[in-house]
Structure 1
């Protein structure tokens, strides 16, 4: 269906990946994972023919459809936006040829027959019914203005465009972004039922586990393919890494032994060459000198043999396991426990302008609970979190009722668009905003562990995507706040960072309020769930 042979690509003078060889077979379900910035989107665009590889070949006769992470939606209706360009052209040609039939010419009749056949092959006679079914399944109305859609609706529109564009291979870049649980479930069923092949770049572990059969990982410029869906593939990777660590440890032990023996032989050779001839009797001086010379030669020769053996060992040395510095570690005081009753809410009503989002809400939160907010797009998860932590009046968001936090509690709040980082200029300021008690030495220590050049004085705006991700996790790791309020914290995180966040939340001793669509994170972390539906909160 699609084949990559020794494909390499660079961005300016910087290599993105090299030597990639990959076959996409019929009905393939291939996951594509990797850190942010590793080149996943670039690789998908090469497969789609939207970019050219700097070396190597991308071949195949399959029809390819590509869905990008972001797309521009112009002033048009939903139905027009999902109509394939080829069908639009065929429809225009059919209408033009039909208008010429009144002339009664044979050539016009032949042109109409050809145009109608092209329209039929483009799926014209079936399209309206198919489009109506797809749009209904995705809860989109064909007359809606595409430019006014919400983030989740735009993602569903992009999926509808893809579904209604016949292809043999679908390339999907983060297809579950902005989709609620119902949208993701619909997408899973579509992928599972389709006879086409799929390459799916996604950070959604539950989605990948549900639909994929192989997993490819872009890591430090190399693509490695593992059998199985994400969880099975990562189990295989962990076993391979464990074996790699054992092999490297054995290599280090053997090399150390060779080095130790070589140094001992060199020391003996030097000692033999520096013998004290005055200690030998006159008759034995020549014999003693010969013995010393012989000892020097033997030990020096053995040292050279050991040096060559070390060089041969180094040539065949197993690769050193990669040291992932995603999470930082500092000796910080424990989070203080704080009051038992963390939050009390009575008769809360939340509205955006004149639109009521939530009403008659009563909640109680106790220390140590990890509460996950769920609900469809637009149900009010972000509005609820914003209302709970709102300290000053907001021009759009209105809150009434009682919201009472425990006395003396400190909170750490993170928005889904990373707003908290935008308010800081340097790495040091970002860390101090999370924990004002950090010392200058600790700020430099964190910056070093993050791999940030320039230390705490480096500007946040100069950080790469991966460095910003690590800084976000570092802020969560160093905060001593007793409550974490996190709105879609997995947005823009890669899979490894999401799993690091998961471990951090599981070990966090305080209270967590978390809005997320990540079903795996939800399942592993939550001790309670608030489901938002019909302006109400159902405590699950």
Structure 2
């Protein structure tokens, strides 16, 4: 097991952990969560022996093999597959010994080394490595390409594959889903669920954590707290804990106030002096309960755009690509006012190309892109972080964007993105990827766009900021087109999906689970070749059955979607009316309602109460009828 005992960890002048304790049992799959800068990555560096604790102990079993994802990838001329096989150090060591034995003609050593290779399943290593690379999106041809030919994002995938190739007892993964597409994230989840060792993973992807983890460690307030369960279960337990803590804090504050009141009133009276003194001592000995901090450091929203033309964009038989080669062809779609579109498709299918086309960063090679006259685009892409001036501050960037706005107003706005105090005037260069992403988003939000184009906006953002962004996008009045591997963000902010596949873009009827089933059916069809045996035929039959089930789910989802949208609107109406009714009833039950000064308000409130009750009844009847219609659809699908 892994044991941290009374651990104090410092990075520079900052104390990250103080007297922290933690025990992780073999086979646990643990998600590490906490704000950026809380100490998660530093804890990984400690476990790898790259950092040393100020005090306490970090104990990892000496016999364990540890694997982690390297941050740098040398520009090697060796093939991608060979590079991945290097992850199995024991395999490479045995291969070197075998080559030496064969060179020297040592028959006994040759026999022994072949036995050792068989013991570690070394002869199947190339096929294991190839499966890993295929799962991470590398083609058969790509697996033989030199490492030096791959871009930064693909090199990170190679490093991930190399870490997975290691037959490890402990696997450390720091933000493994960054730079992966949705399909590859799903593959990685399945791989990690089957991983037999102990897993520690830092991630800000809640769906990924829900799928993979059995425990959550919260890194906060310079300590480590272990929770049993996945991320959703952790959220419930943490909320209950914070609620209890806040209750204890408020109860103690009442007790303190009572003691202080007694001391103030009676400390000067001789008859009560002894009792007052005893209360002073009780107050001094009291172990103070801290208030629960549950407020997010982020507080921002998108202002309503000045104009909402319809449609915002229209694509008419468009082809687009690079140089003379089209990546996407025959695109005929429209982005309407209020559209909320998620882009689906495998890595390399052209999702980012489509977003660049919509953002006018790429011109059509054929066809026509027709923009509304009042179109105002807010475009977020990872490469835009490079356009920030590294020697200038967040405040400077805002002042350049809004030179006529008062500095205090800009400071207040940046505060909603957690840029406060000196952080507002610090240079951008040394900032983390998360801080730069927050600044890029702030610059977009300020401009009040009516069309948001977001290409992987959550990379580098922690869970709190992802939640704040999700809430802001839900209330955004303009249109949204988003590429993201963060399923929670996609599910919460989009209503429709476009599928980027086979060199074109089409509307996709269904949700993310339907897309996953569609991809599985597609992969199954691609894997069929030659004349199947009876066993193969049985497999094909099962695959066909799954394909048909996926199609049926798609049809059900398409039929339910307009009903569910109506249901959501009705639920919002119910919530608003219920809150208004509660406010009216609170006023009508108060003494103030019957003062002469409030006579008109009383009359209006009584009248409005009747209207609200009537509207509530109508909306509730509509909601029940709609719910019954949805239930009937689902029952018909089940039959």
Question: Which TM-score band (shorter chain)?
Answer: 0.7 to 0.9
Tell me, what secondary structure is at the counterpart of 2:292? coil
1:302-313 equivalences under 5 Å are 304-312=277-285
Give deviations 1:231-278, integer Å, cap 9, x for gaps. 111111111112222222233333334444544557xx5xxxxxxxxx
Tell me, what secondary structure is at the counterpart of 1:208? helix
Matched, 1:388 2:358: yes
Q: Give 1:382 shift.
A: 1.7
Structure 1 residues 333, 208: closer, same or farther in 2, change over 3 A?
closer
Q: Give 1:526 shift.
A: 0.6
Structure 1 distance, partners of 2:131, 2:419, is 51
Q: Give 1:524 shift.
A: 1.2
Q: Give 1:488 shift.
A: 0.9
Tell me, what secondary structure is at the counterpart of 1:460? coil
TM-score by length of 2: 0.71
1:113-512 equivalences under 5 Å are 113-140=111-138, 141=140, 142-150=143-151, 153-265=154-266, 269=268, 296-298=269-271, 304-312=277-285, 315-322=286-293, 324-328=295-299, 334-390=304-360, 399-419=365-385, 422-423=388-389, 425-432=392-399, 438-447=405-414, 450=418, 452-454=420-422, 456-461=424-429, 463=431, 467-468=435-436, 470-472=438-440, 474-475=442-443, 478-512=446-480
Structure 1 residues 421, 316: closer, same or farther in 2, change over 3 A?
farther
Give the total of aligned pairs. Answer: 499
Partner in structure 2 of residue 71 of structure 1: 72
Partner in structure 2 of residue 275 of structure 1: none
Give deviations 1:138-182, integer Å, cap 9, x for gaps. 443341222223455434433432332212222222222222222
Structure 1, 246-255 or 232-241: larger mean CA deviation:
246-255
Q: Give 1:512 shift.
A: 1.5
Contact 1:91 1:124 in 2 (8 A): no
Contact 2:189 2:211 in 1 (8 A): yes
Structure 1 distance, partners of 2:447, 2:404, is 9
Root mean square deviation of aligned Cα: 3.0
Structure 2 distance, partners of 1:59, 1:326, is 35
Contact 2:89 2:166 in 1 (8 A): no
Structure 1, 341-350 or 65-74: larger mean CA deviation:
65-74
Structure 1 residues 26, 47: closer, same or farther in 2, change over 3 A?
same
Contact 1:37 1:466 in 2 (8 A): no
Structure 1 residues 195, 85: closer, same or farther in 2, change over 3 A?
closer
Structure 1 residues 434, 214: closer, same or farther in 2, change over 3 A?
farther
Give deviations 1:432-485, integer Å, cap 9, x for gaps. 567677433312333556353347544333556665455455446544322222
More strand by share: 1
Give deviations 1:112-159, integer Å, cap 9, x for gaps. 344444444454333234334444444433412222234554344334
Partner in structure 2 of residue 282 of structure 1: none
TM-score by length of 1: 0.83
Partner in structure 2 of residue 27 of structure 1: 27
Structure 2 distance, partners of 1:44, 1:355, is 44
Contact 2:69 2:160 in 1 (8 A): no
Partner in structure 2 of residue 90 of structure 1: 94
Tell me, what secondary structure is at the counterpart of 2:461? coil
Structure 1 residues 340, 7: closer, same or farther in 2, change over 3 A?
same
Partner in structure 1 of residue 541 of structure 2: none
More helix by share: 2
Contact 2:266 2:276 in 1 (8 A): yes
Q: Give 1:8 shift.
A: 2.7
Structure 2 distance, partners of 1:212, 1:416, is 28
Structure 1 residues 448, 516: closer, same or farther in 2, change over 3 A?
closer
Structure 1, 222-231 or 121-130: larger mean CA deviation:
121-130
Structure 1 distance, partners of 2:423, 2:464, is 24
Give deviations 1:374-425, integer Å, cap 9, x for gaps. 221112222222221226xx6xx76543223323233222212443761583
Q: Give 1:533 shift.
A: 0.8
Structure 2 distance, partners of 1:233, 1:207, is 14
Higher relative contact order (CA 8 A, sep 6+): 1
Structure 1 residues 132, 334: closer, same or farther in 2, change over 3 A?
closer
Q: Which runs of 5+ in 1 are unaligned?
A: 102-107, 270-295
Contact 1:36 1:465 in 2 (8 A): no
Contact 1:33 1:201 in 2 (8 A): yes
Tell me, what secondary structure is at the counterpart of 1:538? strand
Structure 1 distance, partners of 2:19, 2:504, is 54
Contact 1:349 1:401 in 2 (8 A): yes
Q: Give 1:67 shift.
A: 2.5
Tell me, what secondary structure is at the counterpart of 1:26? coil
Partner in structure 2 of residue 45 of structure 1: 45
Contact 1:343 1:403 in 2 (8 A): yes
Contact 2:343 2:498 in 1 (8 A): yes
Tell me, what secondary structure is at the counterpart of 1:161? helix
Partner in structure 2 of residue 536 of structure 1: 504
Structure 2 distance, partners of 1:537, 1:433, is 37
Structure 2 distance, partners of 1:231, 1:378, is 32
Matched, 1:524 2:489: no
